[in-house]
Structure 1
Amino acid sequence: MAHDSGQLTPAALPVPVAPPTGLRALVVEDEVALATVVGTYLERAGFEVALVHDGLESVARARHVDPDVVVLDLGLPRLDGIEVCRQLRTFSDAYVVMLTARADEIDTLVGLSVGADDYMTKPFSPRELIARIQAMLRRPRPSTGGGNAHSADLSPRRTFGPLTIDPAGREVWVDGSSVSLTRTEFDILAALSEYPNVVFTRTRLIAAVWGPSWVGDEHLVDVHIGHLRRKLGDDATRGIFVRTVRGVGYRMGAGR
């Protein structure tokens, strides 16, 4: 945890208490003190919080709680965070922020590959964690142009060759077959497809999908783009649906 005395003792947290948001958070962390601090920050941000210290128990608790956000440690007893996330994704579209004590890039990439939306490496600031979670929950759905967040609710379906995107229903099909995307993957695709002639830099995609206040490694975008392409049956070489514009960023492909 960060070495800030205000972050070590829940009773002394200098964080204003927000009114209840109606949102639920599940904190899965075997370090009881850290789980308590994170839970307290979330409660003060208006979340209803459940704490679990065991990977196996966390899956059952997630089914019961139906959380909007899961803060998930990578190293857990009985079932590690990777497998917990994999199982969560079979029944939940909650935002998942993975915590890891190891800065090894392979760990974070593997975590994201099973459906985590973001990750933080210990030690970290609980304030930054809450800020990231709040930024995710403020994501425009599915409008990403900086205007009215509800304007795209009336958008017609978008078609790119065999790819069809329904912004209102948050559904995607390729050749008529439904494609299951995580929230983050869908939000990236929605952002790119809303402005198909625009090249998005990583910074612009971060602002559109994670929010302008998000702070972290922008290469997170590349990881999610890779997963999105794989699920759509695309790849960087072909760029049928998602094209790489070398030295700049990404844009929609024509679908052929």
Structure 2
Amino acid sequence: MDDSGERRLAVIIEDDPDIRGLLETVLSQAGFETVSADNGIDGVAAVRQFDPVVTTLDVSLPGIDGFEAAKRIRSFSNTYIVMLTARDEEIDALQGLESGADDYVTKPFRPRELRARIEAMLRRPRATPGEAPAAAPAVDARPASTPVWSASAEAAPAPAPTQARHSAPVASAPAATPLPDLDKPPVVSEEGWIEHNGLRVNREMRIAEVDGVELELTRSEFDLVAALMDSRRRVRSKADLALRLRGEDYVTTYYVNDADKRAVEVHMANLRRKLGDNIAAPRFIETVRGVGYRLAAIN
């Protein structure tokens, strides 16, 4: 349980028994109860059954691989997904992020760093406001020798979590105004909305809209657009944004490597696609070559 007394449960989807045991130990030491599965099908079923806070997911699994398992999990659950890959090819990490993973770790991993990354994710909101978190079922704390969970085993049914959608008042695009003074703080309405070129973001409600139409953003995509809205026309580097996604704004004990920066590029590309933004003539987000990103000029 965490400091608030709430139960913390993690699902481990890993076919290697040694790595599975290590993950169970690391997560148990971090205060999690664990449920393990040794294949993708049972892993997806375990997430549906137990509604974990965190799910670790191997890429190479029997049956369906980790990428397909992540897509299936993301279709019904907002669990934090940490993808594990034995290969250090960048394409694996990028494909994992595009499949719905929140973070990735290359094997062999350092247990302390894995735990730090998970704790950083937990500092970010797990669900959108108004969505009551599903209560975790009563499960005995499991040591490293915990038997592997199977979908065929009897278990008390638990309702599958749902991802709530929220509607917000439709707002027309703001009229063109002169460029703001870069030293001024962002303009925030009384309701907490920040607006720019028809893009509206409400950090408290975790809602983003374009021309009054609500966007379906992942946690990472929302965190990126919120960071840029906070910064207005000031440039945010890829390293800054990588730390933001870890929940460690500007301060971290771990190095931001090229793969972390590339992950920001992937999330940013997905965000731009959902915004309908044209990279050649951006309405919302500009790329500052060799540095990072900032909001486009007010048009």
SS in structure 1 at match of 2:283? coil
Distance in 2 separating the partners of 1:205 and 1:91: 27
Equivalent pairs, count:
229
Q: In terms of Rg, which structure is larger?
A: 2
Q: Hey, what does 1:102 align to over in structure 2?
A: 87
Q: Which has the higher contact order (CA 8 A, sep 6+)?
A: 2
* Structure-2 change in CA distance of 1:247 and 1:27 (3 Å): same
Asked if 2 retains the 8 angstrom alpha-carbon contact of 1:96 and 1:117, the reply is: yes
Q: Hey, what does 1:28 align to over in structure 2?
A: 13
SS in structure 2 at match of 1:130? helix
Question: Are 2:231 and 1:188 aligned?
Answer: no
Asked if 1 retains the 8 angstrom alpha-carbon contact of 2:14 and 2:39, the reply is: yes
Q: Percent identity between the aligned chains? A: 43
* Structure-2 change in CA distance of 1:206 and 1:126 (3 Å): same
SS in structure 2 at match of 1:98? strand
Alignment-mate amino acid for residue 253 of structure 1: A
Distance in 2 separating the partners of 1:67 and 1:253: 39
Question: Are 2:286 and 1:243 aligned?
Answer: yes
Question: Are 2:102 and 1:117 aligned?
Answer: yes
* Structure-2 change in CA distance of 1:139 and 1:215 (3 Å): farther
Alignment-mate amino acid for residue 235 of structure 2: V
Give 1:206 deviation, angstroms: 2.4
Q: Hey, what does 2:234 align to over in structure 1?
A: 198
Alignment-mate amino acid for residue 109 of structure 1: L
Report Cα offsets for 1:167-188 as digits up to 9, x if no partner: 1111222233322111111111
Distance in 1 separating the partners of 2:292 and 2:53: 30
RMSD over aligned Cα, in angstroms? 2.4
Distance in 2 separating the partners of 1:81 and 1:201: 30
Report Cα offsets for 1:222-255 as digits up to 9, x if no partner: 1211111122222432332221112221112357
Report Cα offsets for 1:124-146 as digits up to 9, x if no partner: 112211111111222489xxxxx
Asked if 2 retains the 8 angstrom alpha-carbon contact of 1:95 and 1:183, the reply is: no
SS in structure 2 at match of 1:97? strand
Alignment-mate amino acid for residue 293 of structure 2: Y
Q: 1:64 aligns with which of 29, 46, 49?
A: 49
Alignment-mate amino acid for residue 207 of structure 1: L
Runs of 4+ in structure 1 off by over 4 angstroms are: 17-21
- Relative to the length of structure 1, the TM-score reads 0.81
* Structure-2 change in CA distance of 1:79 and 1:194 (3 Å): same
Question: Are 2:113 and 1:128 aligned?
Answer: yes
SS in structure 2 at match of 1:123? coil
Distance in 2 separating the partners of 1:71 and 1:97: 5
* Structure-2 change in CA distance of 1:62 and 1:18 (3 Å): closer
Distance in 2 separating the partners of 1:249 and 1:21: 39
Asked if 2 retains the 8 angstrom alpha-carbon contact of 1:164 and 1:173, the reply is: yes
Question: Are 2:126 and 1:90 aligned?
Answer: no
Question: Are 2:267 and 1:231 aligned?
Answer: no
Asked if 1 retains the 8 angstrom alpha-carbon contact of 2:10 and 2:52, the reply is: yes
Give 1:50 deviation, angstroms: 1.5
Q: 2:26 aligns with which of 15, 28, 41?
A: 41
SS in structure 1 at match of 2:21? helix
* Structure-2 change in CA distance of 1:49 and 1:252 (3 Å): farther
Q: Gapped runs of 5+ residues in structure 2?
A: 127-187
- Greater share of helix residues, 1 or 2? 1
Give 1:96 deviation, angstroms: 1.4
* Structure-2 change in CA distance of 1:200 and 1:122 (3 Å): same
Q: Hey, what does 1:159 align to over in structure 2?
A: 195
Alignment-mate amino acid for residue 55 of structure 2: V
Q: Gapped runs of 5+ residues in structure 1?
A: 1-16, 142-151
- Relative to the length of structure 2, the TM-score reads 0.70
Alignment-mate amino acid for residue 98 of structure 1: M
Asked if 1 retains the 8 angstrom alpha-carbon contact of 2:239 and 2:256, the reply is: no
Give 1:80 deviation, angstroms: 0.8
* Structure-2 change in CA distance of 1:155 and 1:39 (3 Å): farther
Q: Hey, what does 1:170 align to over in structure 2?
A: 206
